[in-house]
Structure 1
């Protein structure tokens, strides 16, 4: 029954899109079509014009796409000369009529174009893909950041929490979605279907994803969860194909061991905080005996930071030892603690991107583990070290406020003590 319904949905979508297509005799280029969509013609034939523009866009080369985005950037920009006197008039007499005129003038016309482009079936996904192109092309065309700002403005409203749907991903999820979970996994590679089954099928494993009604077969972000008796200190043990599954009713800890964003075109539009909070609520309802919600997270900037410390008096010897693999486990943990607690950017926030994410969500640094990830990527980014971030629901709001307002890094007494530990390691060349 589900297959027939799915086939009906696909055929319906294809039929709707075909009906919304331009007349084959319409040879106007993409620029002319955009101006037509913004005119009275767009009020009458908006779906067909939008479908034609999206089809034309897909056929463009990178050079043509740059020209398209430059047209949005310049031809459909704010009219600053018209805006200035309106702002002055509104400052003198803040009437409703002037407010409406000011609001219309202050919005770049490209925002309305993007809204009108989002009419045909499947258009939302195509606009997300279009922003993926824009992000890539903006690297060499920085003036296009204005247009990207408008994409973000609209995508944030289209993908706000009210439209997101949380779904559990399990072994019965349609294969077309499971294929995408495998492809989008960004933290711990899924090697094959057996590996995927080990992450979804056992009673002590869960996976949840956010979807959007306009992109029902495209996960936006997903989190993989292990239910365990204790807080784990190694991803190797969590993902081992030789482990014995735990009966879920005996679990005391929910471990978020992988969070993957799926859509590059939605970069800068955060779903992770919402996802973790909702999954915590779902798990707490299903398993009321759970008393810890933690992550088992990579420390992606650690090796780079260690490389910057080798000439320093405070960390030089132990940093070199950590880099050449001769540091003790305790020294590796201590260096990771110092990195997470004290390595800051110019804006006062942690250098480590995963730390910024979890600390910004109100978590605290709970514990650090050496030799926790033996994969090539784990060794390359952190020398195998990993960290637990604890989500204590009674403290997350306060931690979030302290981090947002003061850049305060919440950490357990254990981690704070680790950062103050004296070192014993020396690099190999000095130990021989």
Structure 2
């Protein structure tokens, strides 16, 4: 009985906050609201934060329904522009076609802390879009505005080192998404002189990193992750810095999902390192292949292959399947992988080459591969037994990959990828 009363009270309270929030939205968009926009926006944000989960869903539904363009007015304006394509008619059509909720978000953004509040709102929205497809237009408006506000011209690149504020260092530990940081000693090693960490910041969120990348300065291209994140390892002297290897990139703001940040970050960092350390000749990654094992288990589907290549893929899959007796879980153990016969190990490499060099261009291709290839990198080398962590074995049977960033060719490689062609080394091409 008590729980029912509490639930009813939450619903009443949520409905009250929702009504007040919608009133604030209309006040903020009114002409009179412009004079008091900061105070109204501040109240609006506070009300949103107090909304229960179900009331937040209702709020986004109301944004979709009540703050969309007027279809009749848009149609009339479009007809007027079709009959007379003047600048005035085009301007009128553009104004009417823009959803009022975009202007609402702009006015929220004017208040102190408004940018962070909108990012937080979008995080809540993203949690609902898949379940409520009618919210996709609202999500498109959020993404459109945030992509403008967080374009590279507004972002600040900063190096993170051991002398950075403790709050920032704690966020680096918390948000590391690729290779978990095991406490302060681990972080200290990742910030030693033969390591670098760079992050993007926005002027409106000066204390919150948006995305950061970790770099190892090495004599050669790395083939395994364990030595790079070994907190007991000895730092290398600058005389051995020949290669800059990007080994982890992590987003810190879920509300900025889909906003292009990482591609600009890697290129900016590469340019920064080249200025600081002219002896660096190679810029590459040591990257995971998170979808590889799942793809193999699904039968290694790969559309559009010529007959000869399809046959080689089929033979490679058959050989790997036979090597583990059809039990792919056996390939998630390092002992099994080390014991593979040379021809079976080569077949596993061939499968990875097809997955990255052909399947990556498909819509369901590996997200890490698509990120780097679309960013202008070249598929350079496969690294069997590169990641023997539980996660690496589960996701990719321990396989990792190096992508090469040739700064003089990234634009050419990007254009090729857009056209469906993967830039890759001869070694990788020979496996297809």
Same fold (TM over 0.5): yes
Aligned pair 1:363/2:353, yes or no? no
The 2-side partners of 1:59 and 1:194 are apart by 39
Q: In the TM superposition, what are the counterparts of 1:25-64 in structure 2 within 5 Å?
A: 29-64=20-55
Aligned pair 1:113/2:104, yes or no? yes
Aligned pair 1:241/2:231, yes or no? yes
Aligned to 2:234, what secondary structure does the other structure show? coil
1:309–1:316: 8 Å Cα contact kept in structure 2? no
Greater shift, 211-220 or 332-341, is seen at: 332-341
More helix by share: 2
**Pairing partner for 2:358 from 334, 342, 347:** 342
Aligned pair 1:276/2:266, yes or no? yes
Q: In the TM superposition, what are the counterparts of 1:24-423 in structure 2 within 5 Å?
A: 29-200=20-191, 202-309=192-299, 313-314=314-315, 315-319=317-321, 321=323, 323=328, 324-325=330-331, 326=336, 327-328=340-341, 329-344=345-360, 348-349=362-363, 351-404=365-418, 406-417=419-430, 419-420=431-432
Give 1:386 deviation, angstroms. 0.4
Structure 2: runs of 5 or more not aligned: 1-16, 302-312
The 2-side partners of 1:71 and 1:49 are apart by 19
Closer, same or farther in 2 for the Cα pair 1:299/1:253, shift >3 Å?
same
2:185–2:231: 8 Å Cα contact kept in structure 1? no
Structure 1: runs of 5 or more not aligned: 1-25, 421-432
Q: Deviations over 1:244-268 (max 9, x none)?
A: 2111242110000001111111011
Give 1:375 deviation, angstroms. 1.3
RMSD: 1.9
Give 1:332 deviation, angstroms. 3.0
The 2-side partners of 1:350 and 1:289 are apart by 39
Q: Deviations over 1:162-213 (max 9, x none)?
A: 110000000011011111111111100001000000101x211000000000
TM-score for both structures, normalised by structure 1: 0.87
The 2-side partners of 1:357 and 1:381 are apart by 18
1:307–1:319: 8 Å Cα contact kept in structure 2? no
TM-score for both structures, normalised by structure 2: 0.87
The 2-side partners of 1:135 and 1:127 are apart by 12
Give 1:121 deviation, angstroms. 1.4
Aligned to 1:88, what secondary structure does the other structure show? helix
1:249–1:287: 8 Å Cα contact kept in structure 2? no
